[in-house]
Amino acid sequence: MTTLADKVILSGADNRPPMLEKDMYDSWKSIMELYMMNRQHGRMILESVKNGPLIWPTIEENGVTRPRKYSELSATDAIQADCDVKATNIILQGLPPEVYELVSNHRIAKELWERIQLLMQETSLMKQERECKLYDEFDKFAYKKRETLRDFYLRFSLLLNDMNIYNVKMEQFQVNTKFLNTLPPEWSKFVTDVKLVRDLHTTNIDKLHAYAGQHEFHANEVRLMHERNSDPLALVATHQMTQSPYQTHQMSYQNPQFQPQVSLY
Closest to 56 (Cα-Cα) out of 44, 39, 40, 68: 68
pLDDT digits (tens, 9 = 90+) for 109-146: 999 999 999 888 877 777 788 888 899 999 999 999 88
99 against 5, higher pLDDT: 99
Can you give the pTM of this predicted structure? 0.49
Cα three-residue angle 178-182-184, rounded to 5 degrees: 155
Contact 223, 184 (CB under 8 A): yes
Residue closest to 29 by CA, chosen among 43, 1, 50: 50
Dihedral sign for Cα atoms in the order 9, 10, 16, 22:
negative
In this predicted structure, what is the pLDDT of residue 8? 42
Whether 91 contacts 32, CB under 8 Å: yes
> Which region, left, alpha or beta, applies to residue 108 given φ > 0 means left and ψ of -120 to 50 means alpha?
beta
Residue range 55-84: mean pLDDT, rounded: 93
Q: Using alpha carbons only, give the angle 225, 230, 233 rounded to the nearest 5 degrees.
A: 100
8-state DSSP, 243: S
Backbone angles phi, psi at 60, to 5 degrees: -100, 130
pLDDT for 139:
94
What pLDDT, on the 0 to 100 scale, is given for residue 16? 84
How far the first Cα of the chain sits from its last, in Å, is 68
Q: What are the domain boundaries of the chain? A: 4-125, 144-255
Of 122, 128, 203, 126, nearest to 168 (Cα)? 128
Q: pLDDT digit string (tens) for 14-44?
A: 578 999 987 788 889 999 999 999 999 999 9
